[in-house]
Amino acid sequence: MAHAQEIRNDPKVWTYLLCAGFLALCLVRIGIPSAPYFDEVHYIPAAKALLADGEWLNREHPVFGKQLIAAGIALFGDTPLGWRIMSALSGTLALFAAMRALWFASQSRFASIAFGILLASGFFLFVHAQIAMLDIFMVAFFMVALWHCAAGVREPETGRWRLAIAGVALGLAMGSKWNVVFLAMLPGLAFLACRMTAGRRRLLTSQRGIPVPGISLIEAGVWLGLVPLFVYWLTFLPAYWAPYKPLEWGGFIALHANILELQGSVKNPHTYQSNWTDWVLNIRAIWYLYEPADGAQRGVMLIGNPLTMLLGLPALAWCAFAGLLRKRWDALAVAVLYAAALGMWIVVNKPIQFYYHYFLPSIFLLAALALALDEFWKRGRRWPPYSVLAASVALFVWFYPILSAAELKGPRSFAVWTWLYSWR
């Protein structure tokens, strides 16, 4: 009967509707600007080169994200739609998977729906679902991994195939962009920590106990450790046949030293560079576009939703408190994921950093806010959740013109949205 109640509460229909609406909005003006902008000038030529003769350009990043852009071009032609369609689809997948992950983690209908609304109106996801950059692919596959990990814990009878999917998704996330590498270790480490707390005498082979009964630690190591690494390696197969400086057989590990060197080689100051404190306080924007394009003045600004990026901070503190003292494992997981996603940028040796590196942490921030709003909801105090969700959507509508490259009145139009001088 409890399972039947869970099925009735599952917001799957609302999830589909919200994702369909999000995709439809992403496709509006997806062809504008009609020329590559911001980092598209690197990734679109790299995708075209893969299609033309298999040449591997832009070697400071893995190959798979550029392969996805190339797939869009192969399906829809060398057009703005072809460049960006895979980003729109991946952004929609990220939204769907994130909502399903929080549903399985929390079993809260309201939290899942609220998370979807916050994420869709949080600026980050929408902006990256309309531009041919690698971050959206990384985020989408990592959300898929979290979805199936959470579902495997909730429904152990499906655990084996869900952990297998999670392992493949982790490999594809790492193959899209390295920013997720530290986070990709967490599902396996969490499984190990949970199984160790069970105090099993046969730690490696026992299939009893949390987090997924029926799966031994050895098997979990395969799905969440070996499979991601193998899939990650598979994404590099085209590099072995590149016409110029192909990846040599046996040179896979050495390749990563070269990638690390390229990642750390950019040291010249940049107009839009920032650091993690700027991201947390939402005080440093990036203008992906601001110039005359397609017959009008247009702009695309990346900044977090001014309301939810700040409200999410006390929500994170609540999640940490509830997780540690009340044993709310969903809240603790969100807090840990945020800390790991942000902490990487505090310690990593990357001289020049940008606000888009906050993409993954911002998702967990909004998940924390959704769980905090759900706490109000459960206590019968409905006006705070309704107010926050309505305000988040209202701010998205207000900022929509400079999130979507809409036609602006003139060169000084940016002043309408640059509430802080550091957003200019």
pLDDT above 70 as % of the chain: 96
In eight-state DSSP terms, residue 247 is P
Task: Answer whether residue 267 shows pLDDT above 70.
Answer: no
Task: Answer whether residue 253 shows pLDDT above 90.
Answer: no
Mean pLDDT of 374-392: 96
* Cβ atoms 179, 133 nearer than 8 A: no
Task: Answer whether residue 407 shows pLDDT above 80.
Answer: yes
Q: Which of 143-152, 212-221, 244-253, 408-417 has the lowest mean pLDDT?
A: 244-253
Distance CA 153, CA 196 (A): 16
> How many residues does the structure list for the chain?
424
In eight-state DSSP terms, residue 156 is G
Distance CA 406, CA 409 (A): 10
Mean pLDDT of 382-400: 97
Per-residue model confidence (pLDDT) at position 338 = 98
11: which residues sit within 8 A by CB, 6+ positions away?
A: 99, 103, 109, 112, 113
* Cβ atoms 83, 43 nearer than 8 A: no
Task: Answer whether residue 185 shows pLDDT above 60.
Answer: yes
Please report, for the chain, how many H helices and E strands are present, in that order: 19, 2
Per-residue model confidence (pLDDT) at position 6 = 62
Per-residue model confidence (pLDDT) at position 128 = 98
Task: Answer whether residue 1 shows pLDDT above 50.
Answer: no
Task: Answer whether residue 169 shows pLDDT above 60.
Answer: yes
204: which residues sit within 8 A by CB, 6+ positions away?
A: 216, 217, 218
Distance CA 323, CA 14 (A): 27
From 356, 301, 284, 262, select the one nearest 37 (Cα to Cα): 301
Q: In a 3-state reduction of DSSP, which class is residue 215?
A: coil
Q: Which of 133-137, 216-220, 232-236, 248-252 has the lowest mean pLDDT?
A: 248-252
378: which residues sit within 8 A by CB, 6+ positions away?
A: 110
* Cβ atoms 130, 61 nearer than 8 A: no
Per-residue model confidence (pLDDT) at position 204 = 84
From 145, 234, 125, 141, select the one nearest 187 (Cα to Cα): 145
Task: Answer whether residue 41 shows pLDDT above 90.
Answer: yes
Please work out, in degrees rounded to the nearest 5, the angle formed at the alpha carbon of residue 186 by the alpha carbons of 237 and 328. 150
Q: Which of 71-85, 112-126, 247-261 has the lowest mean pLDDT?
A: 247-261
Per-residue model confidence (pLDDT) at position 217 = 93
- Res. 243 pLDDT band, cuts 50 70 90: confident
Q: For 209-232, what is each residue's pLDDT tens digit?
A: 889 999 999 999 999 999 999 999
Q: For 288-340, what is each residue's pLDDT tens digit?
A: 999 999 999 999 999 999 999 999 999 999 999 999 999 999 999 999 999 99
* 8 vs 313, residue with greater confidence: 313
Which amino acid appears at position 327 of this protein?
A: K
Q: Distance between the two ends of the chain, CA-based, in angstroms?
A: 56
Q: Which of 142-151, 196-205, 268-277, 284-293 has the lowest mean pLDDT?
A: 196-205
Per-residue model confidence (pLDDT) at position 195 = 86
- Res. 4 pLDDT band, cuts 50 70 90: low
171: which residues sit within 8 A by CB, 6+ positions away?
A: 227, 228, 229, 230, 231, 232, 234, 235
- Res. 77 pLDDT band, cuts 50 70 90: very high
Domain boundaries, the chain: 11-423
